[in-house]
Amino acid sequence: MTLAHALGRTLVHSGIRHGFGVVGSGNFHLARAFADAGGTFTAARHEGGAATMADAYARTSGEVAMLSVHQGCGYTNAITGIAEAAKSRTPMVVLAPAATALNSNFYINQSAIASAIGAAERTLTDPVSAVEDLAGAVDTARRERQTVVVNLPVTLLAETDPGHAPPAPTPAERPAPAGEDLRRFRDTLRASRRPVFIAGRGGRDARGELLDLAETAGALLATSAVATGLFSGEAWNLGICGGFSSPVAAQLIAEADLLVGWGCALNMWTTRHGRLIGEGTQVVQVDDTPAALGAHRTIDLGVHGDVALTAAMLRDLLERDGAQPSMGYRTRQVQQLLEGSSWPDQPFEDSSEAARIDPRILTMELDAMLPQPRVVGIDSGNFMGYPAAYFHHVDERSLCFTQAFQSIGLGLATAIGAAIAEPQRLAIAALGDGGAAMGLAELETISRLELPMIVVVYNDSAYSAEVHHFDGENHDQVRFPDVDFARVATGLGFEALTVTAPGDLAPVQEWLHRRDRPLLIDAKITSREPAWWLSEAFGH
Ligand SMILES: Cc1ncc(C[n+]2csc(CCOP(=O)(O)OP(=O)(O)O)c2C)c(N)n1
């Protein structure tokens, strides 16, 4: 047996259940050994798709995911998806065979690229310790939530396996906050009259603890886009904090006297470039990674600690002090403001035309038709606010949002990775026509895997984000002829609909009963005006 086989098996022994990739000569035996040892391997049609499927799978399942690529060009094809994962701190290992001969066509400096995009990097060189080193890389990905590129020289992969068993995985630690930080946090919270909690992806496993503490402190609840749905159904929920916020939510957040980011980066999108942080508002950030504290905004207090643990310990401290639950921001007036404040409740003028549907109507119609639980993967572009804010996301696993790199073209693969991780949910990919065209290759993957999912193309035959951003300028390079995505998808084994009015959606009901093939909805949408979040972001 070669080390390629041994390393493939090691991945399974290290707790990796699912791998994604495109197989070539360099990773053929490794991917085979992974599957033969009990791992499930999804063959994508483009490494870019495979990388984002792995990323979305890891985000949705909570497991470490594996990406396997061919050396050189397979690796570079995956770089955008790997960069997105690295920026999002997705626990993922990238098995990248590396050409060793400088004159090989496949040779590039793979480790330099990994460092350049912010991924952790390991190059395995020693056949004796290779299995242990790979298990260590998986451990790092899991414990430190890192995207780790493991370069595997092709000469090493061909060596005979020396037969060492991989070590057992070590569980991740949950750091407890320092007593002094906790006491300062308590004092800040007790002094606040209008606290708002903003949970990020690092707060997704701490719902109960955050709800309990928020109740004690009288805090309103919000999330960043990546934790959308965490507080759905709660009375004091503002929904998403950031560009997608409803007007009332944005107002209440901007008027808070204390914002607490729980496992939340508080980046420019979550804070609307800082505009959601009022003058004099105290900002506290809780994160299990010290480097995350204050990385995007100046903060008044950074607490290094596990989110759930910190929230529970703070509540205990408040109780021990004998503090009475505070009404805080949970006033009758705020309650009234919140009634009917979400985006779908806002009145708007229907922009539909003879052969084009208003994207808000389209989204609300689909929202009413499609059963829960669902998981929605969203691409980037002007359209993205509609599926983010007009679909009901009922829990923190309802939206998979791969937008840390702000790349278009990742949405389809995102929905595929999420669909594979959560097969009991109805998976929906929401794409602009630009992002759809870029990720198109993976329609075949959906058909081949028989994933009963829905792909919705918000098709306005343009890169509308750019059209609206560069209002009044020459748009020749960002407008396109209409693409008949329904025909393309049909050729790839989909059932497909072209939608220009709500009535065209009727066959969706029937499809829901069958779900025998994936469904693509090519919705010709209006886009004369930029979406509200784009206007806000670019000052239109
Ligand atoms: C990989 C990549 N290329 C280019 C861009 C710049 N960009 C941002 S939005 C956008 C247009 C997206 O068009 P579409 O998917 O049709 O959505 P729309 O804006 O029309 O709603 C482009 C080209 C980007 N973000 N990522």
- In order, the DSSP letters of 306-371 are -HHHHHHHHHHHHHHTTPPPP-TT--HHHHHHHTT-SGGGS------BTTBB-HHHHHHHHHHHSP
Q: How close is the Cα of 474 to the center of ligand 1, in Å?
A: 17
Q: Round to whole Å and give the CA distance between 317 and 300.
A: 20
Q: What is residue 326's predicted lDDT score, i.e. its pLDDT?
A: 87
Q: What is residue 172's predicted lDDT score, i.e. its pLDDT?
A: 81
How confident is the prediction along the chain (540 residues), in pLDDT tens digits per residue?
A: 999 999 999 999 999 999 999 999 999 999 999 999 999 999 999 999 999 999 999 999 999 999 999 999 999 999 999 999 999 999 999 999 999 999 999 999 999 999 999 999 999 999 999 999 999 999 999 999 999 999 999 999 999 999 989 888 888 889 999 999 999 999 999 999 999 999 999 999 999 999 999 999 999 999 999 999 999 999 999 999 999 999 999 999 999 999 999 999 999 999 999 999 999 999 999 999 999 999 999 999 999 999 999 999 999 999 999 878 889 999 999 999 999 999 999 999 999 999 999 999 999 999 999 999 999 999 999 999 999 999 999 999 999 999 999 999 999 999 999 999 999 999 999 999 999 999 999 999 999 999 999 999 999 999 999 999 999 999 999 999 999 999 999 999 999 999 999 999 999 999 999 999 999 999 999 999 999 888 887 765
Sign (positive or negative) of CA dihedral 488, 490, 495, 498: positive
Query: Within its chain, how far is the Cα of 539 from the centroid?
Result: 26
- Residue ID of nearest Cα to ligand 1 atom 26: 407
Q: Round to whole Å and give the CA distance between 342 and 239.
A: 8
Q: What is residue 211's predicted lDDT score, i.e. its pLDDT?
A: 98
Give the helix, strand, coil percentages of the chain, each rounded to 5.
40, 20, 40
Residue 66 near ligand 1, beta carbon < 6 Å: no
- Who contacts 463 (Cβ-Cβ below 8 Å, separation ≥6)? 381, 432, 434, 478, 479
Q: Which helix (H) or strand (E) holds 67?
A: strand 65-68
CB 40 within 8 A of CB 19: yes
Residue 462 near ligand 1, beta carbon < 6 Å: yes
Q: Round to whole Å and give the CA distance between 238 and 221.
A: 6
Q: Round to whole Å and give the CA distance between 413 and 459.
A: 18
Q: How close is the Cα of 477 to the center of ligand 1, in Å?
A: 12
Residue 465 near ligand 1, beta carbon < 6 Å: yes
What SS3 string covers 10-26?
HHHHCCCCEEEECCCCC
Residue 395 near ligand 1, beta carbon < 6 Å: no
Distances (CA, A) of 158 to 50, 106, 108, 308: 25, 17, 19, 46
Q: How close is the Cα of 16 to the center of ligand 1, in Å?
A: 33
Count CB atoms within 10 A of the CB of residue 298: 8
CA-nearest of 489, 465, 498 to 479 is 465
451 phi, psi to nearest 5 deg = -80, 125
Q: Round to whole Å and give the CA distance between 342 and 465.
A: 23
Query: Within its chain, how far is the Cα of 248 from the centroid?
Result: 25
- Who contacts 320 (Cβ-Cβ below 8 Å, separation ≥6)? none
Residue 434 near ligand 1, beta carbon < 6 Å: yes
Q: Round to whole Å and give the CA distance between 38 and 477.
A: 48
- Residue ID of nearest Cα to ligand 1 atom 9: 381
Q: Round to whole Å and give the CA distance between 341 and 354.
A: 30
- End-to-end alpha carbon distance in the chain: 63
Q: Round to whole Å and give the CA distance between 491 and 532.
A: 36
Which atom in ligand 1 lies closest to the alpha carbon of residue 436?
15
Q: Which helix (H) or strand (E) holds 524?
A: strand 519-524
Q: What is residue 44's predicted lDDT score, i.e. its pLDDT?
A: 98
Name the DSSP class of 273: T
Q: What is residue 539's predicted lDDT score, i.e. its pLDDT?
A: 63
Sign (positive or negative) of CA dihedral 33, 35, 41, 43: positive
Residue 519, Cβ density class (10 Å: 0-12 exposed, 13-18 middle, ≥19 buried): buried
Residue 526 near ligand 1, beta carbon < 6 Å: no
Q: How close is the Cα of 463 to the center of ligand 1, in Å?
A: 5
CA-nearest of 39, 57, 63 to 421 is 57
Which three-class secondary structure state does DSSP give residue 400? strand
490 phi, psi to nearest 5 deg = -60, -40
Q: How close is the Cα of 436 to the center of ligand 1, in Å?
A: 10
pTM for this entry: 0.97
Q: Round to whole Å and give the CA distance between 225 and 400.
A: 9
275 phi, psi to nearest 5 deg = -70, -20
119 phi, psi to nearest 5 deg = -90, 155
Which atom in ligand 1 lies closest to the alpha carbon of residue 407?
26
**127 preceded by cis ω (within 30°)?**
no
CA-nearest of 295, 373, 353 to 500 is 353
Which atom in ligand 1 lies closest to the alpha carbon of residue 80?
1
Residue 385 near ligand 1, beta carbon < 6 Å: no
Q: How close is the Cα of 528 to the center of ligand 1, in Å?
A: 16
Q: How close is the Cα of 304 to the center of ligand 1, in Å?
A: 36
Q: Which of 463, 477, 485, 540 to mutate to test the pocket of ligand 1 (most atoms within 8 A of CB)?
A: 463
Q: What is residue 448's predicted lDDT score, i.e. its pLDDT?
A: 98
Residue 192 near ligand 1, beta carbon < 6 Å: no
Q: How close is the Cα of 131 to the center of ligand 1, in Å?
A: 41
Q: What is residue 163's predicted lDDT score, i.e. its pLDDT?
A: 92
Residue 463 near ligand 1, beta carbon < 6 Å: yes
Q: Round to whole Å and give the CA distance between 213 and 252.
A: 19
